[in-house]
Structure formats: C-alpha cells, structure tokens
C-alpha cells in the first residue's frame, strides 16, 4: 500500500470512526454551544484519522511478519522432495535417510531406486535401519523388514509402505511424500 493510499484510508477510517463514535456525544450535548461542538468535532476527526492511519500501519507490519514467519513447507513431509543424485545410494548400499520426508531411499539390483516410508505398518513406530543386520528393525515390537522393505518377521502384517519415485535425467530422484500417494507393500 502506497503512503498516499494509506493516508487516504486513514482519513476515511477516521471520518467513519468520528461519525460512529461521535453520534452518542452529539446526542448527549444537543443543547451545548455550537462553536464548541465544531471544535470538538474537528479534534475528534484529527484524532481518529491519526488512529486509523496508525492502525493500518500496525496491520501492515503484522501481515508482513505473518508472511515472513509462515512455515516454508518445501522439502517437508507431504510434498514432492528431490534427492540429489549424489545422495542416491549405490545398489544395495546404505539407505539414504531423509528425516523431513520420513523416508529411506534404497537402491535395488533388480528394480532400481525405491523410497520406503519409515513408519512401521504395525502400530506406527519409526523404524531405524540397523547397518550391522542389514535390515530395518522396529524397536517397538520387533518387526523386521528387508532392505527392500519387505516383511521378514514380527507383528507387522506386511512390508513397509512405499512412496512413488521419479528418477530424473540428471540422476536425482523425486519422491512423492504425500500420504495419499503411498503404495502398500503386500510382501
Ligand atoms: S510398531 Fe513396529 S512392531 Fe509394533
């Protein structure tokens, strides 16, 4: 908002406030001196116009802060996240963990890159990758998943859910972390 528009808006707001809040005053002093009433009216107008202008400036500052502080969701769970080619694991290599997106990227010899949602399909615990075992082992009730996310044992009824992936021309991989896009792993 330009200063001119803001000033005009402040004056308009002041005029409106004067009309609204001065109504009862006018009614109460119906028998008072006319000159004094005019002076009082001018003062009220100036005061309210100033207050209106200040109010608009404060509102603008509030909006600006709100925009600045609004969380930037890019790269977070629920959005499409692109993992640079350099972070994509080698075939059967250590899974790449991307915490904001809640997934592991694994690279399979037969089917290529796969994104595994790290939430245990039993009761929802976060499942860590255990390097020494070369498996995902849930700490809550002991469900075990293979490198490719398939179920090995435990109370989990099936394997880790998968997220759709797109392998880009530059070698990077884009993962769709929207929960509604999850692919159920029946193995
Ligand atoms: S929540 Fe993972 S085994 Fe129960």
Position in ligand 1 atom list of the atom nearest CA 156? 3
Percent of the chain with pLDDT strictly greater than 70: 65
Task: Provide the domain count of the chain.
Answer: 2
Task: Show Cβ contacts of residue 142 under 8 Å, excluding neighbours closer than 6 positions.
Answer: 153, 154, 155
> Is pLDDT of 16 > 70?
no
Nearest protein Cα to ligand 1, atom 1? 123
Nearest protein Cα to ligand 1, atom 3? 141
Task: Show Cβ contacts of residue 4 under 8 Å, excluding neighbours closer than 6 positions.
Answer: none
CATH number for the domain spanning 111: value is 2.102.10.10
Structure confidence by residue, pLDDT tens digits, 81-139? 999 999 999 999 999 999 999 999 999 999 999 999 999 999 999 999 999 999 999 99
- How far apart CA 122 and CA 146 sit, in angstroms, is 15
What is the pLDDT averaged over residues 45-72? 64
What CA–CA distances, in Å, run from 38 to 22, 41, 43? 12, 5, 9
Distance in Å, CA 118 to ligand 1 centroid = 11
Last residue of a domain, one of 69, 91, 111: 69
Residues with CB under 6 A from ligand 1: 120, 122-125, 138, 140-143, 154-156
Query: Strand 103-108 and strand 135-137: pairing?
Result: unpaired
> Whole-prediction pTM value?
0.63
Are residues 93 and 147 located together in one domain of the fold?
yes
What is the pLDDT averaged over residues 59-74? 58
Last residue of a domain, one of 38, 69, 100: 69
Which structure tokens are listed for 97? 């963990």
Where in the sequence is the domain holding 52, given as residue range(s)? 3-69
Q: Is residue 152 part of a domain?
A: yes
Poorest-pLDDT segment among 20-24, 88-92, 161-165, 175-179:
20-24
Q: Compute the mean pLDDT over every residue in the chain, rounded to the nearest whole number.
A: 82
């Amino acid at each position: 908002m330009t200063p001119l528009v803001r000033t005009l808006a402040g004056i308009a707001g002041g005029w409106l406030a004067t009309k609204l809040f001065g109504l009862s005053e006018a009614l109460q002093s119906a028998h008072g001196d006319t000159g004094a009433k005019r002076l009082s009216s001018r003062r009220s107008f100036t005061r309210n116009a100033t207050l209106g202008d200040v109010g608009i400036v404060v509102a603008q500052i509030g909006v600006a802060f709100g925009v600045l502080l609004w969380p930037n969701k890019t790269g977070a769970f629920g959005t499409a996240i692109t993992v640079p080619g350099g972070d994509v694991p080698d075939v059967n290599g250590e899974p790449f963990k991307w915490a904001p997106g809640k997934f592991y990227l694994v690279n399979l010899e037969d089917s290529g890159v796969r994104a595994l949602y790290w939430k245990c399909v039993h009761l929802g615990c976060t499942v860590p990758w255990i390097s020494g075992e070369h498996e995902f082992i849930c700490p809550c009730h002991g469900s075990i998943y293979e490198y490719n996310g398939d179920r090995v044992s435990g109370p989990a009824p099936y394997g880790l859910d998968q997220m759709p992936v797109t392998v880009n021309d530059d070698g990077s991989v884009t993962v769709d972390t929207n929960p509604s896009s999850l692919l159920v792993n029946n193995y």
